[in-house]
Structure 1
């Protein structure tokens, strides 16, 4: 490999040869920065800092990048246990924006006895954002979220690939160093900077991939560690077949989770009736009729056309919540408008449906608590650096069609979310972590999975619980993406973060209330 140093050659080999991987480390070896905490400009009760870390951990004394941090100090510092690092997913979600919410929603132990720190992942924060530039003009825009026909597939693929072309053309240096593994290294360096011997953590959605990666790379440094709404790390990274024959967003089977969440929710809607769910009364049959009209280009909402992709994407956005507030009334309004009754869906319901779909498009593996704290380009920068994928438009088209036969609509939506990752520059993968995942950790991990999660189906939680020695699975028997903020799960967090005590084997948490409670009428 002329022109490539031995260390880089070995790292590249690790990404290309099945079974070759990096060994677990004790901790990151790099100069430990001093964090100069100051009152945050817009929220004086919190502390903010900007910290320089290595761009490339293979050269820790070389070029630096800046990370943005926010700390929520423990409410009762005299009883402080330690520091808790948090990540809201995305990839592209802002951890500094998430930390204040996490300090409240994770329970009284966290709020009172932990400093909660959010580190905006590299490429996400304001100080060192991902930026790619191309001299080539952006391809013509498309007006659909995902393709429904082969004729639509080619323009959709070209549109997605423009990001890849730009990032191979005039990429900022950070684009070559945005892997989850590098973010895990940043987190370990910040652990050292705040003086913690072990890393306490809460991660949701993509934040669980960061958690699985950290725990596999630095198992001796794992403290009280929770992953919630869990991705299967093997499916995310490589899948079981090398070279990859499916896009990573297909391998994760998020489409299965979304389809099962919606179908079970429609059954529950009919069970509780119109008193609680406006869409009740053969809800699944009415849904199928809306889908048929949308596919035929005949569906309207508030007098304007509503495409099949917008219908599917908008509904998926609603499925992220632990209660489906507003979904039933939105669907019922659209149904009445298209049933020839002369009624019209409300403008606000249609706007909510479109907004829900847009949130999913920007950060599909993020907590539903996020609203505007998303850098959308970072999704490709992180996910494509982390994952092995096939190469051609045919691969994405075939994968979407195959999944749509099992999980209608959601198969194509989830599959095409990763289209920018085809032929992502291999040099960006040189510091990525692909395997092995799991093994013994210094502290057992608490793994939380929802029965009907539309983005990270419960099989991901079961996989992670089986990979890490002593990990314990807590099942939330309900809907939504992640269980943060629910009563029984919060009580389990309180006990675990206070004492390290895990829930009993096979523990299941019920919902706080019905899926449709308080929504109709």
Structure 2
């Protein structure tokens, strides 16, 4: 892409992985005939692809309308005698491409669960390569124009929230008026749960095996509620509050975000000036230095020009986006510290380079809105009511994550009667769930995992003592061993198990800045959120290759 006029990080809610700057090779999905039986064809490099044909309307499956679900498989590597079947995964969003996630991260997922399993990724209804596709903008240019004034933090200026509220009132009307095929009412999470059951059965797996992340935990919990006797293995990792999600009461998403930020302050101080470029003599002074940068950017955004391939403006809102990406992805803490230290010296190159390395699936803006808002109850709050709600959120991130979603849903008009309405939970499931939560997850607080585990008796909560969104992004051999044992033989950890990270997030020597894997930052599957607006103040950022490296897998 040539220079962007907006950083497109607002697409999706919470996601396991993002499409990185180098992207993936082209593949013509239209070359595959949709079928209820999987007919795999070689695609990309080392993967197989298929399109699964599912009824568009499960209440009237014979009406001739269907969805073609794009599916990718990373085949098992173990001998046939050890084959463990398919494991489905969902990266979250809603609206993030499961196909792209497996292309980027499938080998890593397989390395955790075991090479005896196929790893299956799919684009849910309306998303990316699946048809019909959610879109209420006619062109990319129209979409970009609509998003130019998006803000990551609706608390950043007095105008941010009411202007965004008005914009999404228009978006809701636009979606309704352009839904000529009446497809938007058939992209609910309940529809996707039925699709998963059909796909699992078609692959010869009567009971589902699934490792899901973030919004994917809502999908998994819906599946477990609707089909409690059809579970072989089900891991939910980075868990949403089901009731809050359905009620569009999302202020609690940021309940632990400041805890994640504190991990950065504490970790930087503990690492010392040699290992943290943003070091100060106490965590409180590091926090104060960041506040000074916020104040400075509010009064005077920082122009950045490295060359004709990397340029832009670092604004307060852009920095908030970058901070949230790092909170989702703590292996980026050392890089964030370096970038902040450079900003103190008047150089925003590293931070804009970091942000430019991350992009999102093309229709994620529409998908996250249509799926989450269509799943939830009608929500008719006006801007003043939302502002009052935001004022009660006890977090320095009150205007991020949940608030933009609630704001979008205030304008949404389509709430299908067949959507899952709750309550979530099941007295008995055919196999107990494994629930995973981090102690400082910036988007899905640990309390959500505890609550959800109680909704599914027999399930066990595994706690990972770490910051970041989902257990996936930081390395804990303890956590990964429990996940592998669960998929291999159904073994659950003991109640109260807490797993630690293998190493500090800030390196303890210069040699520790390179990952165990030789892959560069742009080659790592990293989780990032996209609900927060990619700030137009970063206009002109271009994507280019990078040699940035971080500690991770």
TM-score band w.r.t. shorter chain: 0.7 to 0.9
Indicate the residue corresponding to 1:269 in structure 2.
Answer: 268
Summarize the alignment of residues 130-149 of structure 1 with structure 2, pairs less than 5 Å apart: 130-133=134-137, 141-142=148-149, 144-147=151-154, 148-149=156-157
2:102 pairs with 1:99: yes
The change in CA–CA distance for 1:191 and 1:284 in structure 2 (over 3 A counts) is: same
Q: Are 1:140 and 1:159, in contact at CA under 8 Å, matched by a contact in 2?
A: no
Greater relative contact order structure (CA < 8 Å, 6+ sep): 2
Cα deviation, 1:381-435, whole Å, max 9, x if unaligned, reads 11111123343122322222332xx212443454123422114224x33221121
For residue 35 of structure 1, report the CA deviation from its aligned partner. 2.1
The change in CA–CA distance for 1:400 and 1:353 in structure 2 (over 3 A counts) is: farther
Summarize the alignment of residues 26-37 of structure 1 with structure 2, pairs less than 5 Å apart: 34-37=36-39
Cα deviation, 1:451-501, whole Å, max 9, x if unaligned, reads 111111111111111111111111111111111263221111111111100
Indicate the residue corresponding to 2:47 in structure 1.
Answer: 46
2:372 pairs with 1:383: yes
| Structure 2 portions without partners, runs of 5+ | 1-33, 306-311, 515-548
Indicate the residue corresponding to 1:419 in structure 2.
Answer: 407
For residue 178 of structure 1, report the CA deviation from its aligned partner. 1.0
2:230 pairs with 1:221: yes
For residue 74 of structure 1, report the CA deviation from its aligned partner. 1.1
Q: Are 1:139 and 1:162, in contact at CA under 8 Å, matched by a contact in 2?
A: no
Indicate the residue corresponding to 1:117 in structure 2.
Answer: 120
2:196 pairs with 1:187: yes
SS at match of 1:37: coil
SS at match of 2:436: strand
Indicate the residue corresponding to 2:489 in structure 1.
Answer: 499
Cα deviation, 1:226-279, whole Å, max 9, x if unaligned, reads 1111111111112xxxxxxxx4432xx222222221123212211221122111
1:331 pairs, out of 322, 326, 340, with 340
For residue 125 of structure 1, report the CA deviation from its aligned partner. 3.5
Cα deviation, 1:208-227, whole Å, max 9, x if unaligned, reads 11111100110000111111
| Structure 1 portions without partners, runs of 5+ | 1-31, 239-246, 338-343, 363-371
Cα deviation, 1:169-215, whole Å, max 9, x if unaligned, reads 01143211111111101101112211212101010111111111100
Q: Are 1:104 and 1:111, in contact at CA under 8 Å, matched by a contact in 2?
A: no
Report the Cα distance in structure 1 between the residues aligned to 2:373 and 2:272, rounded to whole angstroms. 44
Indicate the residue corresponding to 2:455 in structure 1.
Answer: 467
Report the Cα distance in structure 1 between the residues aligned to 2:211 and 2:486, rounded to whole angstroms. 12
Indicate the residue corresponding to 1:237 in structure 2.
Answer: 246
Summarize the alignment of residues 50-69 of structure 1 with structure 2, pairs less than 5 Å apart: 50-62=51-63, 63-69=65-71
Indicate the residue corresponding to 1:243 in structure 2.
Answer: none
Cα deviation, 1:105-149, whole Å, max 9, x if unaligned, reads 335473421122112100003241112258999769426434434
SS at match of 1:164: helix
Report the Cα distance in structure 2 between the residues aligned to 1:221 and 1:33, rounded to whole angstroms. 23
Indicate the residue corresponding to 1:306 in structure 2.
Answer: 314
Q: Are 1:88 and 1:207, in contact at CA under 8 Å, matched by a contact in 2?
A: yes
RMSD of aligned residue pairs (Cα, Å): 2.7
For residue 437 of structure 1, report the CA deviation from its aligned partner. 0.8
1:446 pairs, out of 434, 440, 449, with 434
The change in CA–CA distance for 1:101 and 1:113 in structure 2 (over 3 A counts) is: farther
2:350 pairs with 1:348: yes
Report the Cα distance in structure 1 between the residues aligned to 2:480 and 2:147, rounded to whole angstroms. 47
The change in CA–CA distance for 1:519 and 1:293 in structure 2 (over 3 A counts) is: farther
For residue 73 of structure 1, report the CA deviation from its aligned partner. 1.5
Summarize the alignment of residues 144-155 of structure 1 with structure 2, pairs less than 5 Å apart: 144-147=151-154, 148-155=156-163
Q: Are 2:238 and 2:471, in contact at CA under 8 Å, matched by a contact in 1?
A: yes
Report the Cα distance in structure 2 between the residues aligned to 1:100 and 1:410, rounded to whole angstroms. 34
Q: Are 2:207 and 2:230, in contact at CA under 8 Å, matched by a contact in 1?
A: yes
Q: Are 1:267 and 1:284, in contact at CA under 8 Å, matched by a contact in 2?
A: no
Report the Cα distance in structure 1 between the residues aligned to 2:348 and 2:399, rounded to whole angstroms. 29
Indicate the residue corresponding to 1:89 in structure 2.
Answer: 92
Report the Cα distance in structure 2 between the residues aligned to 1:308 and 1:109, rounded to whole angstroms. 38
2:397 pairs with 1:395: no
Q: Are 2:112 and 2:480, in contact at CA under 8 Å, matched by a contact in 1?
A: no
Report the Cα distance in structure 2 between the residues aligned to 1:205 and 1:298, rounded to whole angstroms. 36
The change in CA–CA distance for 1:272 and 1:69 in structure 2 (over 3 A counts) is: same
Q: Are 2:36 and 2:54, in contact at CA under 8 Å, matched by a contact in 1?
A: no
SS at match of 1:436: coil
Q: Are 1:134 and 1:166, in contact at CA under 8 Å, matched by a contact in 2?
A: no
Report the Cα distance in structure 2 between the residues aligned to 1:100 and 1:142, rounded to whole angstroms. 32
Q: TM-score, normalised by structure 1?
A: 0.81
Report the Cα distance in structure 2 between the residues aligned to 1:106 and 1:121, rounded to whole angstroms. 19
The change in CA–CA distance for 1:162 and 1:115 in structure 2 (over 3 A counts) is: same
For residue 347 of structure 1, report the CA deviation from its aligned partner. 1.5
Q: Are 1:96 and 1:119, in contact at CA under 8 Å, matched by a contact in 2?
A: yes
2:326 pairs, out of 318, 333, 336, with 318
Cα deviation, 1:269-315, whole Å, max 9, x if unaligned, reads 112211221111021121122223334x2353648753322221210
For residue 346 of structure 1, report the CA deviation from its aligned partner. 4.7
Q: Are 1:66 and 1:127, in contact at CA under 8 Å, matched by a contact in 2?
A: yes
SS at match of 1:484: helix
